[in-house]
Structure 1
Amino acid sequence: MPYAPAPIAVSSIATQADADAFRVLNEEWISGLFTLEEADRAVLGDPFGRIVDPGGDVLLARTTGADAVVGCVALLAYPDAVFELAKMAVAPAAQGRGIGRRLVGAAIDRARVLGAAQVFLGTNSKLGPAIHLYEDAGFVRIPRDRLPVADYYARADVLMKLM
């Protein structure tokens, strides 16, 4: 019998357990490839205060039935209806099943509901599959001087904007 992946449900962060899953997923991949920056620690340590309360959201992908969080993505709100798609992670055991694609699509939809006039992101050239995913979703590369925020992550050498 062919393998059929478990259905995935995407929903907004709601509990401290959700916040913990968001932090753990992100700390794992960031510290595995890069250095966890103070800005990472601040956002990951308080997603309700740093992301949700200012008008953004954290979306979590769960395996339906098991209710295990297997992926996440954040939308950080900035002035002038600008949102950053950030902190996307998929658990290593769940990669390759389209969860990242689902999360990016859900984040774009949620940004529109939140009134986004612009959505941007920063990533790294080491993350080829992620860059391809973002391009498929309609993001295009922009130079650093077109980034709508200052003091952005040192590891972000690929900057993109949703067109």
Structure 2
Amino acid sequence: MGACALLKEEEGIYEMAKMAVTPRAQGLHIGRLLGERIIERARQAGARKIFLVSNRRLTTALSLYTRLGFVEVPMPPSIYARADIKMELDLDGEVA
């Protein structure tokens, strides 16, 4: 129904990557559940920050990321050709 990866970039910094939900499961809040679970896993791993890169045309996904607490930050050069936005979720100070 859906998938998402959590990639360790460096100590305390993780990337939420490759989130996808099958077309038949879209609209069932699977993306929200995946996002919440990835954030929980990152906290358990000791993450201070989670980031993601995406494309501005994916407005539904960007809205989900915002609801999960991610905020837009400056976009550095990316290894992903279609990525044109970077978002971060700062976990410092949050209680796991």
Give the TM-score taking structure 1 as reference length.
0.53
Unaligned stretches of 5+ in structure 1?
1-69
User: Between the two proteins, what is the percent identity of the paired residues?
Assistant: 47
Q: CA deviation at 1:115?
A: 0.9
In the alignment, what sits opposite 1:81? Answer: 12
Q: CA deviation at 1:142?
A: 0.5
Q: CA deviation at 1:154?
A: 1.9
Q: Deviations over 1:21-71 (max 9, x none)?
A: xxxxxxxxxxxxxxxxxxxxxxxxxxxxxxxxxxxxxxxxxxxxxxxxx00
Structure number with larger C-alpha Rg: 1
Structure 1 letter corresponding to 2:10: P
Q: Does 1:161 find its partner at 2:88?
A: yes
Counterpart CA distance in 2 for 1:159 and 1:152 is 12
Aligned partner of residue 63 in structure 2, secondary structure:
helix
Structure 2 letter corresponding to 1:79: E
The count of corresponding residues between Structure 1 and Structure 2 is 90
Q: CA deviation at 1:79?
A: 1.4
Q: Deviations over 1:66-117 (max 9, x none)?
A: xxxx001000011122100000010000100000000000000000001111
Structure 2 letter corresponding to 1:112: R
Where is the strand percentage greater, Structure 1 or Structure 2? 2
Q: Does 1:106 find its partner at 2:42?
A: no
Where is the helix percentage greater, Structure 1 or Structure 2? 1
Q: CA deviation at 1:126?
A: 1.3
Structure 1 letter corresponding to 2:26: Q
Counterpart CA distance in 1 for 2:86 and 2:45 is 22
Within the candidate set 58, 62, 71, 1:127 is matched to 58
Higher normalized contact order (CA 8 Å, seq sep 6+, divided by chain length): 2
Flag as ranges the 4+ runs of structure 1 deviating above 6 A. none
Give the TM-score taking structure 2 as reference length.
0.88
Aligned partner of residue 93 in structure 1, secondary structure:
helix
Counterpart CA distance in 1 for 2:36 and 2:78 is 27
Q: Deviations over 1:110-162 (max 9, x none)?
A: 000011111000000111000000000000000124xxxx6431211111000
